[in-house]
Amino acid sequence: MLPVVPMFHANAWGMTETSPVATVGSARSHLDGGTEDERADARARQGVPAPLVELRITDPDTGEELPWDDVATGELQAAGPWVARQYHRGEGEGQFTADGWLKTGDVAAVDRYGSVRLVDRTKDLVKSGGEWISSVELENELMAHPAVAEAAVIGVPHEKWSARWSLNGH
C-alpha cells in the first residue's frame, strides 16, 4: 500500500502582459507545523514571483514603493524579461511607469516571503479623506455581520472628502 501524501493546492496569478504566469503558489517550509487555518490562508494566496519576474507594490497617489509586510496594500506592478514593456502602436498609455514597470491594475499585499495576496482592483478603490479604501474589503466587513446577508458599496462624490460611501444591503 502506498503512503498517503498530503496535497497542496497551489494558485497562480498572471495576465497576458506577463506571458502569462507571474506568480506561483507552492508549499512553503515556514508553514510546516502551522495550523490548518494558516495553511488555508497560504493556499488562498497567489504565490511568489516566478523566476526572473520582479514585483512591487506602490502607493496609488505617489508611486512610492511599499513594504512587503502583508499589511500595506498598493498597486501590484511587474517587470521582467518576458513582461510587456509597451503595447502595440503605443496603445494603453499610462499602463507603464516611467521606469518600465507594468501597472497591473490589481491591488495586493506581499508578505516577507514574497507571497502575493490580491485584495482588490484599482478601479474598485475609493479615495475618501485622503485615504484609499477598498470597496471589496468594506463589503466583506459588512457581510461578516450576522444581520447583513448582502452588501454593495459604491463611492459617490463628496465636496469635502473626495468621496463618501453609499451602502446598500439587506
pLDDT tens figures, 37-78: 877 788 788 999 999 999 999 998 899 999 999 999 999 999
CATH superfamily of 12-122: Luciferase; Domain 3 (2.30.38.10)
Instruction: Round the average pLDDT of the chain to a whole number and report it.
Output: 82
More confident: 9 or 27 = 27
Q: What residues have CB less than 8 Å from 9, skipping those under 6 apart?
A: 43
pLDDT at 161: 64
pLDDT at 133: 76
- Quick count: other Cβ atoms within 10 Å of Cβ 19? 15
- Own/partner long-range contacts of 129-133 (Cβ < 8 Å, ≥24 apart): 129/161, 129/162, 130/162, 132/60, 132/61
Name the residue ranges covered by the structural domains of the chain. 12-122
DSSP 104: E
CB-CB contact of 165 with 152 (8 Å):
no
